[in-house]
Amino acid sequence: MSRVAAVRYPATPFLRTADVAAKGMLVLLLLLAVIDPDGSNLRDKAAEARAIGYPLASFTVPVIWLLWWKDRAPFPWLPDLLVTLTCFTDILGNRMDLYDRIVWFDDVMHFVNTGLIATAVILLTLHHSASRIRVVERALAVGATAAIAWEIAEYAAFIHGHSERAFAYEDTLGDLGLGVLGSITAALVIHHLWRRGQLRESVARPEPLDR
């Protein structure tokens, strides 16, 4: 048998500052994107949908913490930052026109951002004693689902009526593959760090009753 015990660990000033700054910059860039889609390079790229979806995603962890975890664990700054970065890097990449100027930038974003989402969920939901196969399983469940959801949302938001539609099938397969690969990579990295005694923070962890 096991019980759930709170884990108390300090959040570094860097993590807190980075998380708050990323959220603030994200909101600012989204406002600019809605006001001036051309300046943000988001004309016909679902600027309004991003302005709604990204804040919802980046504030998911704080809402869950307030409703269910506040009384038993400190705020999970690192997982929250990772989720926020997935939204922030996308909107910043568009603002800087990196998607159009650098041919491989989109591939990197699919690989990295899906990995970040998987990492955040692993840190929030698994104990550091979890086996490698369990960590990979959790990462795949989260990463593959996130990759599929993104492709569906992307197609519905703007690709179906865009000139890129002719290449959508090939691009979607590549993006899904990169998302899965990013998730597996994240799982292996996290498990390796856990085995080395690093990143052993989590919101709640199971502990034996007879310990």
Q: What is the pLDDT of residues 52-107, one digit of tens each?
A: 989 999 999 999 999 988 888 889 999 999 999 999 999 999 999 898 899 899 99
Percent of the chain with pLDDT over 90: 50
Per DSSP (E only), the strands in the chain are 2-6, 204-208
Name the residue with tokens 């051309």: 38
For position 211, what pLDDT does the model report? 37
pLDDT digits (tens, 9 = 90+) for 112-155: 999 999 999 999 989 888 999 999 999 999 999 988 888 787 77
Query: For residue 79, what are the CA distances in angstroms to 67, 166, 203, 209?
Result: 17, 37, 10, 28
Listed residue (78, 69, 112) closest to 199, CA to CA? 78
Average pLDDT, the chain: 83
Q: Give the global pTM.
A: 0.82
Q: Please give the pLDDT value at position 74.
A: 85
**Encoded tokens for 63:** 């809402």
b/e per residue 45-67 (b: at least 16 CB within 10 A): bbbeebbeebbebbbebbeebee
Give 146-181 pLDDT, tens digit per residue.
Answer: 888 887 877 766 555 555 555 555 667 878 889 999
